Chain A
Amino acid sequence: MTAPTTHGATTHAGGNEHSHDQDHGHEHAHGHELPFWRKYIFSVDHKMIGLQYGLTALVFLLVGFSLMMLMRWQLAYPGRPLGWVGKLLGENAMPGGVMAPEFYNQLGAMHGTIMVFMGIVPLAVGAFGNYVVPLQIGAPDMAFPRLNMASYWAFLPGGLLMIYSFFMPGGAAQSGWTNYPPLSVLTQVPGQTMWLFAMVLLITSSLLGSINFIVTIVQLRAKGLGFWRLPFFVHAQFVTSFLLLLAFPPLEAAAVLQLMDRLAGTSFFLPTGLVVSGEQLKVAGGGSPLLWQHLFWFLAHPEVYVLILPAMGIVAEVIANNTRKPLWGYRLLVYSVIFLGFMSFVVWAHHMFMTGMGTTMSTFFQTTTMIISIPSVIILTCFLMSLYGGAIRFTTPMLFATAFLPMFAIGGLTGLPLGLTASDIYLHDTFYVIGHFHYVVAPGTIFALFAGIYYWYPKATGKQMDPTLGKIHFWLSFLCMNGIFMPMFFQGMAGLSRRLYDPTIYAHGRAIQSLNVVISWSAWGLFLAQLPFIWNFFSSLARARAVENPWSATTLEWAAPSPPPHGNFPTPPVVYREPYEYSVPGQTSDFHPQFAGEA
């Protein structure tokens, strides 16, 4: 086949819709000839890459969750042997079936790393971004399909190396997911070095992806799709991509510097006169451990918004669709999300109030932290106002999306005391912090991601997921999530520190140990609550085909067949109106799609 290059070139030189059409026909004719490994493994199709990201990320989420379930055993029943599981994990990790402290630290560090960098971000951005964004803007694919493939193939080895580090001598990284030096530099296990290598790969993957998203959204929108007609999900992904693009490189730099410290013996993060085990360390010194914290949080605070913005995008789509009315304050939402993006770059040091960086710095970062809560509240308020007066359909995605609102609100509001130094000095590094950010990310973001899976599953497969199993999944997850994270606020306010191997060594820990038992059983219950989801996810593939556009949605992805073929749209779609024209007076149906021409 030699024709398409010139064919493609003339198409683009002409640039009109008609010749695009021919191109599509061309591709369809040859789409079946793709060998297995080009179609499913080294695919350049954004939908396949999105599914690859999604399935990989779901597996990693389960792995990260399993690590936490192990930790919860030690926290609920400190020092009690764990039967056959302990035997399975071997004498190094669980001597005599009892968890070793080093192993506990590995589980803690890797739980955070896996959940954030290998679970949520790839699912929220890699999977939903890849699958949905080109469809919602009416594009045939991402702007750079091979770059897209490279992005996945940087992510997967990064993730696998991270998992592999558990099997290296001495085990995986064990200095927390934040990898603070000097501890992280001085920990003499190769897994710690592997953490840095794997992070460089994961960061590279995100960078490639973010460039691709921005170019796609700017250059490849369908005819008539101006910025004020983009679905809110696309706006959220657009801002997220800028955060990834600009915030990740400093962490990449920091990872390289820490690699130098570990491998070449430099002292970027090692101060002068560091004494370890009674002996002065033989390094040049002169470095600054705080420098790592600044570089790390310069990434990791925008990263929080990388975790939450796509979730807000999904919730917006689901709420508009299931309330059957336009989103309340669409422009306000867009302005807020852009403002959030900007502000997220100037709040990072609120993670560092306890480092003694000075009151001037603290005042600045307290102020910016209070300011950044304003757009978050605006977004949440817009969502609540969208519910008001709607004809709400409580479908499975809508259950998750409505639950997102109070869960994210709890997570956000409990963050305010942490953003002010006076209260943060007491609450810092306690379980209160764990409760706070998990409310944002677990019942917040993960619920939104579940909403997205239920909502777009018919798009990707042509089948509907079972609603009864979906409701069971939702209600059990909702109960267990709150059973896990709500008691953590009380633990934190009682002064219980995070990262404690055995909370009962302190009297104040013993007094509230019963809460740890409640949390652990809720965590194991949460695992059981995911079984209906896993079953539903696979068994629904065997269900009868759903109708096209089963949710009666207005956005462009529903103009394509389900699942969309290579090239997505049979004819390039044209956009006639704003994204959420539901229940428009005078219309015969209660939705008026963006892509439907005037009658």
Chain B
Amino acid sequence: MAEASPYAADALIPHTVEPHPVTGIPNGKLGIWLFLASEVMLFGALFSTYVVIRTTAPHWPPEGGLSSEILNVPLATVNTAVLITSSITMVLSWASLKMQNLPRFRLWLGSTIALAFVFLVIKYFEYTHKFELGHYPSHDNFYAVYFTLTGLHGVHVIGGIIVNTFLLTAGSRMWATEPERFTNRIENAGLYWHFVDLVWIFLFPSLYLL
């Protein structure tokens, strides 16, 4: 195992698997929560920017009309459903590991990745339609906000796909040697994935509906 090489310093480190007696969690879980705290600040700043830009604009969207008419609400609704479903399959993949069922885990984590791809494909069609109309981010600040916020969210979705694909393939070899640690990794990846889902739950109404 690559993990077993003498370079792997974490063979020395306490609480990589067994929880700390005071905090009650292993290192990785505390780490992922701290990471999510910084992500909250990142998207907090982006949403604040949106609020400032929108409240100081004479009209919103600046070119007139309604957000819900400019953006494709049905597609975004489908996408919301896709992401929420992917969060469910993510939990199921973790639960499968808890029940020692590796094939079932593969099925659910694979579904999560597939659903993430479905989300990106739908997003791709939304984006290209805007581009066909000549509506680039530079068109006005409505599009600037729309493309930047959904774009950064999209980058997070891609990040989730990369992590989950690793855990589904090469990373899953850890199951044979350290099953508990691997299960924790899936839980942490799941926490991240739910956060990405949650950001979209905020983005959808505030960009498309309001």
Q: Provide the residues of chain A in CB contact with B118, threshold 8 Å.
A: none
Q: Which residue in B12, B31, B41 is a CB contact (below 8 Å) of A246?
A: B41
Contacting pair B41 A12 (CB below 8 A):
no
Interface of A is mostly: helix
Contacting pair B18 A15 (CB below 8 A):
yes
Q: Which of B1-9, B66-74, B79-87, B163-171 contacts A (4 or more CB under 8 A)?
A: B1-9
| A214-B34, A286-B140 known; A268+B49 contact, CB < 8 A | yes
Contacting pair A264 B136 (CB below 8 A):
yes
Contacting pair A249 B39 (CB below 8 A):
yes
Distance to closest chain B CB from A569 (angstroms): 10
Contacting pair B14 A15 (CB below 8 A):
yes
Contacting pair A246 B38 (CB below 8 A):
yes
Distance to closest chain B CB from A197 (angstroms): 15
Q: Provide the residues of chain A in CB contact with B15, threshold 8 Å.
A: 12, 143, 219-220
CA distance A129 to B200 in the complex (A): 36
In the complex, A125 has a CB within 8 A of chain B: no
Q: By the criterion of a CB under 8 Å from any partner CB, how many residues of chain A are at the interface?
A: 69
| A45-B9, A257-B49, A286-B62 known; A248+B14 contact, CB < 8 A | no
Query: Which residues of A, 135-155, contact B by the 8 Å Cβ criterion?
Result: 139-141, 143-147
| A9-B178, A9-B181, A250-B45 known; A24+B12 contact, CB < 8 A | yes
Q: Which of B50-58, B94-102, B108-116, B121-129 contacts A (4 or more CB under 8 A)?
A: B50-58
Contacting pair B144 A260 (CB below 8 A):
yes
Q: Provide the residues of chain B in CB contact with A24, threshold 8 Å.
A: 12
Contacting pair A295 B6 (CB below 8 A):
no
| A15-B14, A219-B15, A220-B14 known; A264+B42 contact, CB < 8 A | no
In the complex, A549 has a CB within 8 A of chain B: no
Q: Which residue in B45, B137, B178 is a CB contact (below 8 Å) of A260?
A: B137
CA distance A145 to B31 in the complex (A): 13
In the complex, A31 has a CB within 8 A of chain B: yes
Q: Which residue in A145, A220, A284, A288 is a CB contact (below 8 Å) of B139?
A: A284
Q: Provide the residues of chain B in CB contact with A38, threshold 8 Å.
A: 7
Q: Which residue in B11, B44, B148 is a CB contact (below 8 Å) of A256?
A: B148
Contacting pair B56 A288 (CB below 8 A):
yes
CA distance A253 to B45 in the complex (A): 6
CA distance A402 to B23 in the complex (A): 38
Contacting pair B152 A1 (CB below 8 A):
no
In the complex, A3 has a CB within 8 A of chain B: yes
Contacting pair A5 B23 (CB below 8 A):
no
CA distance A141 to B26 in the complex (A): 15
Contacting pair A12 B52 (CB below 8 A):
no
In the complex, A218 has a CB within 8 A of chain B: yes
Question: Which residue of A is nearest B5, CB measured?
Answer: A1
Query: Which residues of B, 17-57, contact A by the 8 Å Cβ criterion?
Result: 17-18, 20, 23, 26-27, 30-31, 34-35, 37-39, 41-46, 49, 52-53, 56-57
Contacting pair A266 B141 (CB below 8 A):
yes
Question: Which residue of B is nearest A222, CB measured?
Answer: B14
Chain A 219-231 near chain B by CB (<8 Å), digits 1 or 0: 1100000000000
Q: Which residue in B41, B148, B177 is a CB contact (below 8 Å) of A6?
A: B177
Question: Which residue of A is nearest B56, CB measured?
Answer: A288
In the complex, A27 has a CB within 8 A of chain B: yes
Q: Provide the residues of chain A in CB contact with B53, threshold 8 Å.
A: 268, 286-288, 291
Q: Provide the residues of chain B in CB contact with A283, threshold 8 Å.
A: 138
| A4-B11, A13-B18, A249-B45 known; A284+B1 contact, CB < 8 A | no
Query: Which residues of A, 239-273, contact B by the 8 Å Cβ criterion?
Result: 245-250, 252-254, 256-257, 260, 264-268
Q: Provide the residues of chain B in CB contact with A11, threshold 8 Å.
A: 11
CA distance A511 to B178 in the complex (A): 74
In the complex, A499 has a CB within 8 A of chain B: no
Q: Provide the residues of chain A in CB contact with B57, threshold 8 Å.
A: 286
Contacting pair B23 A218 (CB below 8 A):
yes
Query: Which residues of A, 270-309, contact B by the 8 Å Cβ criterion?
Result: 283-284, 286-288, 291, 295, 298
Q: Which residue, B18, B27, B139, B140, has most C-beta atoms of chain A within 10 A?
A: B27
Q: Provide the residues of chain B in CB contact with A5, threshold 8 Å.
A: 1, 3-4, 11, 177-178
Distance to closest chain B CB from A229 (angstroms): 14
Question: Which residue of B is nearest A267, CB measured?
Answer: B141
Question: Which residue of B is nearest A226, CB measured?
Answer: B22
Distance to closest chain A CB from B43 (angstroms): 8
Q: Provide the residues of chain A in CB contact with B45, threshold 8 Å.
A: 249-250, 253-254, 295, 298
Q: Which residue in A44, A252, A266 is a CB contact (below 8 Å) of B7?
A: A44
Contacting pair A253 B42 (CB below 8 A):
yes
Distance to closest chain A CB from B183 (angstroms): 13
Query: Which residues of A, 25-55, contact B by the 8 Å Cβ criterion?
Result: 26-27, 30-31, 33-34, 38, 44-45
In the complex, B150 has a CB within 8 A of chain A: no
Distance to closest chain A CB from B182 (angstroms): 11
Q: Provide the residues of chain A in CB contact with B42, threshold 8 Å.
A: 249-250, 252-253
Q: Provide the residues of chain A in CB contact with B13, threshold 8 Å.
A: 139-141, 143, 145, 220
Contacting pair B38 A2 (CB below 8 A):
no
CA distance A284 to B62 in the complex (A): 10
CA distance A254 to B136 in the complex (A): 20
Question: Which residue of B is nearest A227, CB measured?
Answer: B22
Contacting pair A567 B12 (CB below 8 A):
yes
Q: Provide the residues of chain B in CB contact with A212, threshold 8 Å.
A: 31
In the complex, A211 has a CB within 8 A of chain B: yes
CA distance A267 to B142 in the complex (A): 10
Chain B 151-194 near chain A by CB (<8 Å), digits 1 or 0: 01000000000000000000000000110010000000000000
| A34-B7, A249-B38 known; A256+B141 contact, CB < 8 A | no
CA distance A144 to B34 in the complex (A): 13
Query: Which residues of A, 547-567, contact B by the 8 Å Cβ criterion?
Result: 566-567
Contacting pair B17 A9 (CB below 8 A):
yes
CA distance A215 to B15 in the complex (A): 10
Contacting pair B11 A8 (CB below 8 A):
yes
| A2-B1, A265-B137 known; A253+B6 contact, CB < 8 A | no
Distance to closest chain A CB from B142 (angstroms): 9
Q: Provide the residues of chain B in CB contact with A288, threshold 8 Å.
A: 52-53, 56
In the complex, A207 has a CB within 8 A of chain B: yes
Q: Provide the residues of chain A in CB contact with B148, threshold 8 Å.
A: 256-257, 260, 266, 268
CA distance A516 to B40 in the complex (A): 46
In the complex, A91 has a CB within 8 A of chain B: no
Which 3 A-B pairs give the minimum distances between C-beta atoms? Answer: A265-B138, A266-B144, A250-B45
Binding site for B on A (CB under 8 A): 1-9, 11-13, 15, 20, 23-24, 26-27, 30-31, 33-34, 38, 44-45, 139-141, 143-147, 207, 210-212, 214-215, 218-220, 245-250, 252-254, 256-257, 260, 264-268, 283-284, 286-288, 291, 295, 298, 566-567
What are some 10 contacts across the A-B interface (CB < 8 A)?
Answer: A1-B4, A5-B3, A30-B6, A44-B7, A141-B12, A143-B27, A219-B30, A249-B44, A252-B42, A266-B148
